[in-house]
Amino acid sequence: MFNIILFGPPGSGKGTQSERLIAKYGFKHIATGDLLRSEIAGKTELGLQAKSYMDQGQLVPDAVVIGMVDNVITDNPDAYGFLFDGFPRTKAQAEALDQLLLKHEEKINLMIALDVPEEELIIRMMNRAKTSGRTDDADPEVQKKRISVYKNETLAVASYYHQFGKVITINGQGSIDEIFAALSEEIDDHSA
Ligand code: AMP
């Protein structure tokens, strides 16, 4: 398997690029935000618990998201590889992910971080809110909270993988095609 983490702040384009990468390479997509939103739509107990955190721009507890990821990994032993999107978001999640993968004799091969300035993130979240119906994209206070959670809790995930020499940063500004080409080049280089 070739397993990658697409990393970046909220609004950096992880979801958009993930869709294309999945279509090109056949990764199994593991997007914890999408998994949580489908729990909310299904009105499950887990969804009800997660909703209040998400509405406030806070992180859902580690144990909840780690459990969901464990299920998807276990259910997809024949995937080409996993593409993690929006996970891990804390150092504890990163350590748990390494353990989960190890259980299946797998590992993270590469983390690609999308670099996008903060002003641009706000513009993108505002634009996405128009079509996604995501309340956490539309509210300026929640946007700010999500960016501060990213800085205070999630950036540590990049440092964690950096110590293993697994992080590549690419410019997340430009056309969707340009960024996709840069991502594909890194994946091709590292999976060859
Ligand atoms: P996203 O769709 O990745 O922007 O995630 C939307 C919201 O879901 C976040 O603001 C968090 O409240 C929650 N969430 C998604 N992924 C995680 C994660 N790995 N850990 C904790 N909370 C998460």
Position 113 scores a pLDDT of 98
| Mean pLDDT computed over every residue of the chain | 96
Position 92 scores a pLDDT of 98
Position 135 scores a pLDDT of 86
Q: Which tokens go with 96? A: 């748990």
Instruction: Kindly give the distance from the C-alpha atom of residue 2 to the centroid of ligand 1, in angstroms, as a whole number.
Output: 23
Instruction: Indicate the SS3 state at residue 106.
Output: coil
Q: Domain map of the chain by residue range?
A: 4-191
Nearest by Cα to 121 from 144, 139, 141: 144
Instruction: Kindly give the distance from the C-alpha atom of residue 44 to the centroid of ligand 1, in angstroms, as a whole number.
Output: 17
Position 134 scores a pLDDT of 87
| Span 69-97, average pLDDT | 96
pLDDT tens for 18-40 read: 999 999 999 999 999 999 999 99
Ligand 1 pocket test: pick from 30, 49, 58, 60 the residue with the most ligand atoms within 8 Å of its Cβ. 60
Ligand 1 pocket test: pick from 59, 144, 153, 154 the residue with the most ligand atoms within 8 Å of its Cβ. 59
| Span 135-146, average pLDDT | 92
Position 116 scores a pLDDT of 97
The dotted CATH code for 4-191 is: 3.40.50.300
pLDDT tens for 123-138 read: 999 999 999 888 899 9
Angle between helices 45-55 and 32-41 (to 10 degrees): 120
Position 133 scores a pLDDT of 84
Global pTM? 0.96
